[in-house]
Structure 1
Amino acid sequence: MAEVSDEVLNLMASHPWDESIPRLTRYAFGKMRKLFWQGILGGPAPSGIEAKDIVLISIEKIMNGDRTWDPRSQENLYKHLTSVIDSEISHLINSWENRHFFREAVLSGRPNSDGKTAEFWDNVSCPNSGPEDILIDRERERLSENFFWKFYEFIADTPLLQAILERITEGDKKRADIAASMGIKVKEFDNLKKQLQRRLKSFQEIKNGEAHNDKA
């Protein structure tokens, strides 16, 4: 277990989790429902683990030093967390329990009207438990979506940046795939992504300034 620096702890403490956690949860949820869990495509993960559990586990591992985050080489904590989430999902999908344990309740799932077995995730909200959690998650999701669309409008003067933001948000990760879908070269994509990160930093500084003025 690596020692966690004060720099990392301070950055973690100041990170806008109200915006990141709902996005990360949707990211994990989208990946999990496309995989085979206990023999069923989109079935329940072992031990009842859900998308939000994966997100919280990933955050905790960075905070306690199980997973290293170097802000100097990877400034974007959100992006780093998606890679940790990918690793956690991969570990879980390859676990002994997932590969050898098949739930009878899942295997006896009722077919849809089209004759296909209903996916487990189709009947699960993403991801809630009690009424209070539902309200909290909905508010976090609202704040996250509000932040996304305001930033989207902020970069309206550069449609290519908007296109990259859309693809990244939708879960497209490979640089070459995104560049090809946009009809640009990978090098141009890299330059545009750096520009997008600079614009996001500027946007966050503006939002933080507005929040400070409101409190004052």
Structure 2
Amino acid sequence: GMVANRKMFGSLLAGVDHIRHTHDPARNAFSVGMPQHGAELADDLERLVALHDASTIAAVIVEPVAGSTGVLIPPQGYLQRLREICDKHGILLIFDEVITGFGRTGNPFGAQTFGVTPDLMTVAKGITNGCVPMGAVFAQQKIHDAFMTGPEHLIEFFHGYTYSAHPLACAAGLATLDTYADGDLLTRAARMQDEFATALHSLR
């Protein structure tokens, strides 16, 4: 991640560990498609499991494509390896798809592009085309049920914000989804990728 950006907040994030970044220009410069080198970096998670014990690790959160650090595509097998390790140790895998969601990788979501299903997915920006603030969390059924089938005296999901489910944001989201469907936009990047990649690599 961006170390300088989180430096001042470090003391507020007790118990948060970071694994190494996959950016490796020495081995992956000018890669066509997903870089060949770096899948082994996912094994840093095994090191943290050995250090802390899996029972103390709630989740791993990762962007399918690292956005603000350079639009870095994950190495071949990297996300699959994270999924394997999380499954092995009962750790939730969360994809931050605020940047990659809603067609930016040639599929509706990066999870589909890379063939890895997370337990939770966070989205924003593209859900309303950025014109109205809105965010959402998608969850697998097992996680949904864990919240919704608790003791009877508890509120189903004991969390909320003043502007949750704001009508304007919801209307913008629905209109945006209609626009994506009408224009077949969620897969447009996939149809353009070969032309774009050829033009980009011609600049080397």
Q: Output the TM-score relative to the length of structure 2.
A: 0.26
* More helix as a share of residues: 1
Q: Output the TM-score relative to the length of structure 1.
A: 0.25
* More strand as a share of residues: 2
